[in-house]
Amino acid sequence: MAIAYFYFHAELNHFLPRHHKQVKISHFFEEKASIKDMIESLGVPHPEVDFINVNGKYVNFSYIVADGDAINVYPISARSVIIPSISVLPKPLSIIRFVLDIHLGKLATSLRLLGFDTLYRNDYEDDNLAKISSSQGRIILTRDKGLLMRSLVTHGYYVRNTNPQEQIIEVLQRFDLFKLIAPFKRCLRCNGLLESVDKQSIIEQVPEKVRCLRRQATQVNEFQRCQDCDRIYWKGSHYERLQQFIDGVLNSQKGE
Ligand SMILES: [Zn+2]
């Protein structure tokens, strides 16, 4: 029986059982395994790991753990004190785009509202999510750490908060997205891009049945239409609530 000693730093402790948090973990093993597999067997998904130090040297995920190794595993938040060339993470994506798991519908709407390209469906299977992420270069956001442990997943993040309002702030901070916020650019329902349209051409599409909506719509002059699903958007009372939400998000950055 061989033994390796693991120490997980900072927020990686989130993934460990209580008796493993913030302590040196003595991990016994019989068969040789890569450090990536061993880290995941202890509960930490590989996309959450930024760099790994074994006996004073930085290694990549393919390193085979040896008897007596002392292993330190660090998350992204520790990066400011370290050289990026030793990171085990893949290169950051040139365009930030997301695909979200079924638990994160409200977060998907918030990301779209702020202008971020966000795929979400409440019937996406894990297989599907991993494939979309890999083939389209999209970051998976999930509350399922098993999904992040799939080998196909290179860019992913486990959303810690359960409150949707806190989730959007968490994601904006994690990926440094505040400066990329461009609200009212995407359809909240389907992620399509919005285009400005002439009032006369679409006013008949505002549902007659929903009287108050129609009354609101006849009083405004700026309309946008989703290029994909044709949904019409205008600055009604709904708009003020969304604007308040956006202001709240922007203010959270100032309060950081
Ligand atoms: Zn749409």
Top-confidence residue, 55 or 236: 55
Under a CB-based contact definition with an 8 Å cutoff, are residues 15 and 45 in contact?
A: yes
Distance CA 226, CA 190 (A): 8
The one-letter code for the residue type at 196 is S
pLDDT per residue as tens digits for the range 138-156: 999 999 999 999 999 999 9
Classify 18 as helix, strand or coil: helix
Query: Rounded to the nearest whole angstrom, what is the distance from the C-alpha of residue 184 to the centroid of ligand 1?
Result: 12
- Describe the strand order of the beta sheet including 223-226 as a list of residue ranges: 194-197, 223-226, 232-234
76 alpha carbon – ligand 1 mean position (Å) = 35
Weakest-pLDDT range from 25-34, 65-74, 167-176, 247-256: 247-256
Q: Which region among 53-62, 79-88, 108-117, 234-243 has the lowest average model confidence (pLDDT)? A: 79-88
Query: What domains appear along the chain, each with residue ranges and CATH number?
Result: 2-80 (3.10.20.30), 97-182 (3.40.50), 194-249 (no CATH)
Task: Give long-range contacts, CB 8 A cutoff, 24+ apart: 61-66.
Answer: 61/34, 61/35, 61/36, 61/88, 62/34, 62/35, 62/36, 63/34, 63/35, 64/32, 64/33, 64/34, 64/35, 65/4, 65/29, 65/32, 65/33, 65/34, 65/35, 65/38, 66/2, 66/4
Cα of 165 from ligand 1 centre, angstroms: 23
Distance 193 CA to ligand 1 centre (A): 7
- Expressed in angstroms and rounded, the spacing between residue 167 Cα and the centre of ligand 1 is 23
Closest by CA position to 216, among listed 232, 196, 193 = 232
Check residue 120 and give its pLDDT: 97
For the record, the structure tokens of 56 come out as 């004073």
More confident residue, 21 or 216: 21
Measure the CA dihedral 178/250/233/229, to 10°.
Answer: 30
Distance from the CA of 145 to the center of ligand 1, in angstroms? 30
Asked if residue 13 has pLDDT above 90, the reply is: yes
What is the CA(113)–ligand 1 centre distance, in A? 12
Q: Rounded distance, CA 178 to CA 171, Å?
A: 10
Q: What's the CA-to-centroid distance between 50 and ligand 1, angstroms? A: 36
Ligand 1 centre to CA of 197 (Å) is 14
How much distance in Å is there from the Cα of 237 to the middle of ligand 1?
20
Distance 189 CA to ligand 1 centre (A): 5
Instruction: Report the C-alpha gap between 124 and 149 in whole angstroms.
Output: 17
The whole-angstrom distance between residue 81's C-alpha and the CA centroid of its chain comes to 24
Measure 86 CA to ligand 1 centroid, in angstroms.
Answer: 42
> H/E element holding 145?
helix 145-148
